[in-house]
Amino acid sequence: MKNIATILAVTVITYVTSVEKAQAIPAFAKAFTERYVNTSKNADFVASVKEARCNLCHFGTSKKNKNDFAKAMAKTFKKTNFNSTRVREEAETVKKEFDEGFKKILAEKNPSGKTYKSLIDAGMLPGTVEE
């Protein structure tokens, strides 16, 4: 019986540690990618986003570290409103919310006084780390 318990414990630990970590809010990343990365004609911007991955919105090793762009998104989008069930079942409503929300966010200015849209249009990542 001890062998079975040991094997089960090792199996669970192995599975938990080997599972790839998902993005904190997949709906946000997907919405941004669909609207701005996939439609961009700026190859530098597309490459920068693909290279940055999570660091589009975060910095450092903790997902709790949000850059200014992520903080602007957090003010506009409440993560509890974008769970996978709602995104799937209310797709049209969620799409409109993302369209309106991103329009609002991209019009905002970052700490250096540039709008997030102007940074994206210039081929740069929208978020910067506030120090």
pLDDT at 131: 52
Distance CA 117, CA 96 (A): 19
Position 87 pLDDT exceeds 50: yes
pLDDT at 61: 86
For range 70-74, the mean pLDDT: 95
For range 69-82, the mean pLDDT: 94
Distance CA 98, CA 131 (A): 29
Distance CA 6, CA 39 (A): 51
Total-model pTM: 0.76
Distance CA 8, CA 109 (A): 52
Q: Tell me the pLDDT tens digit for each residue of 31-65.
A: 999 999 999 999 999 999 999 999 999 998 888 99
For range 3-22, the mean pLDDT: 53
Q: What is the CA radius of gyration of the chain?
A: 18
Position 12 pLDDT exceeds 60: no
